[in-house]
Structure 1
Amino acid sequence: MVAVMSLSNGALAPRRAEKEARRTSMGRTLLRRAVTLVVLLVGLAGVAGLAGFLVFTAQIAAREPSSVKKADAIVVLTGGAARIPDALALLAEGHGRRLLITGVNPSTSSDMLRESLPQSDADRLIACCVDLGHKALNTLGNAIEASEWTRSQRFRSILVVTSSWHMPRAMLELERALPEVEFVPYPVVSTRMQAEQWWRDPPTLKLILKEYLKYVMAAVKIRPAQAVAAPGEQARVGP
């Protein structure tokens, strides 16, 4: 009897070892497959991100347009030194009947704006045809402020003035807020964006990468908690 049990245990031992080996091998196989899948997904995400970035950079103008289509009005988003002077020049040339400057600091008045502008006819333009928007805190806020102004004025076409690298996101938010209105982009191109190999300049590359991430977030509607200043609130304008 004891001999039979010994033989039985001796026969079972290799089977147990074989089962354990199979389990170990299966676990390693599953782990390898999981790691391979993760690496593949990360690789695909990287390729998709790079492709998206290249498509995004292709939308950034390297030169300001040589000819400009007329529109009912002009909207300029604050944030770049040349944006407002360029928008006023377009207004003076008759490319729009009125101009909205959106995202203006609440402490900035028309008189302060007038003193900071180089145009000789800035006084006349600001007095007759320029509106200041003080509520917008960021690009989404610019779109909200511009949509309220556009609808109140019943404009059907808007010339959009902002920096070239900011234009894709600005157009995305504006077209989403006002799908019934035609938007015509007028990109303001800074000197560093005119360089043929701007990606070799670390500050410029960092700027474009950050803007691309903001564009992706805007595209999937991941938005800032607050877009416009509440009544009586001091606005702090962001990108």
Structure 2
Amino acid sequence: MIPRRFVVAFLGAAVSLVAFGFVLFANSVMREPELQNARADGIVVLTGGQTRITEAARLLQDGRAQRLLISGVNQKIGRASLLKISGLDEKIFACCVDLGYAALNTVGNADETRRWAEALGYDRLIVVTASYHMPRSLAELARAMPSIELIPHPVAPDVLRRKVWWLDATAARLLAAEYVKFLPAAIRLVVARGVTPWQATSVTAASGTPSKS
């Protein structure tokens, strides 16, 4: 039988490791991204906030990519509503924006994006989502599309624009909840590709300045 002190020591070490990982995760999410003008074949925005779509549409309008995929669109939302949210010209929206209704979660976003990118022959994508959601999104996308280069373009919600997140209960809860979701995604990526979990959060340098979500 394993001595109790070893069990206690092991559990203590495990808790410390998870806590340290959370601090790394939170600091990574809160870090100001490097300013870039990266261009790609396509842009994918993972739904969950209106500002994400507006920001992705701005990148398309600026000529940063050829097409935009809005992944995970609610079945009840039609093209007219998304056109209004995007702020794009109707002609640009009609020619260059694709709507994905199949994805119900981040894993679904990754599968939907992979099918879209493969159909168009794209190998370089700008990824737009909330800053706290970006590490998990990159992990799932990288696992689904190992040969495609991913350029993160995080959109920062108001609650995470406060620099001292550990003094803000709402921000801390949001980051902790997302960290719990990120860990399984990182493990799946490690198993699939044999990389370290933190590589999932930095596939390439961040692109653009975070906007409010």
TM-score per shorter chain, which class?
A: 0.7 to 0.9
**Among 120, 123, 135, the residue aligned to 2:90:** 123
Partner of 2:46: 77
- Percent of matched pairs sharing the same residue: 38
For 2:15, what is the secondary structure of its paired residue?
helix
Q: CA–CA distance in 1 between the matches of 2:39 and 2:17? A: 37
Deviates more, 1:191-200 or 1:40-49: 191-200
Matches within 5 A, 1:1-239: 34-63=3-32, 65-117=34-86, 119=87, 121-221=88-188
Would the aligned equivalents of 2:54 and 2:85 in 1 still touch at CA under 8 Å?
no
Q: Give the structure-1-normalised TM-score.
A: 0.74
Q: TM-score normalized by structure 2?
A: 0.83
Give the superposition deviation at 1:61: 4.2
For the residues of structure 1 that align with 2:155 and 2:34, how far apart are their CA atoms? Answer: 9
Q: Shift of residue 220 of structure 1?
A: 2.5
**Whose RCO is larger (CA < 8 A, sep 6+)?**
2
Instruction: State the secondary structure of the residue aligned to 2:69.
Output: strand
Amino acid at match of 2:63: G
The answer (yes or no) to whether the contact 1:110–1:126 under 8 Å persists in 2 is no
Q: Distance in 2 between matches of 1:81 and 1:41?
A: 44
Return the alpha-carbon distance in structure 2 between the equivalents of residues 51 and 122 of structure 1.
Answer: 46
The answer for the alignment partner of 1:229 in structure 2 is: none
Distance of aligned partners of 1:71 and 1:61 in 2 relative to their CA distance in 1, 3 Å threshold:
farther
Q: In the TM superposition, what whole-angstrom CA distance separates every residue of 1:116-151 from its partner, at most 9, and x where no partner exists?
A: 34x2x3423211100000000100000000000000
Secondary structure of 2:3's match?
A: helix
Larger radius of gyration: 1
Deviations 1:151-184 (A, max 9, x none): 0000010000000110001000101111111000
> How many residue pairs end up in the alignment?
189
Give yes or no for contact 1:88–1:122 (8 Å, CA) kept in 2.
Answer: no
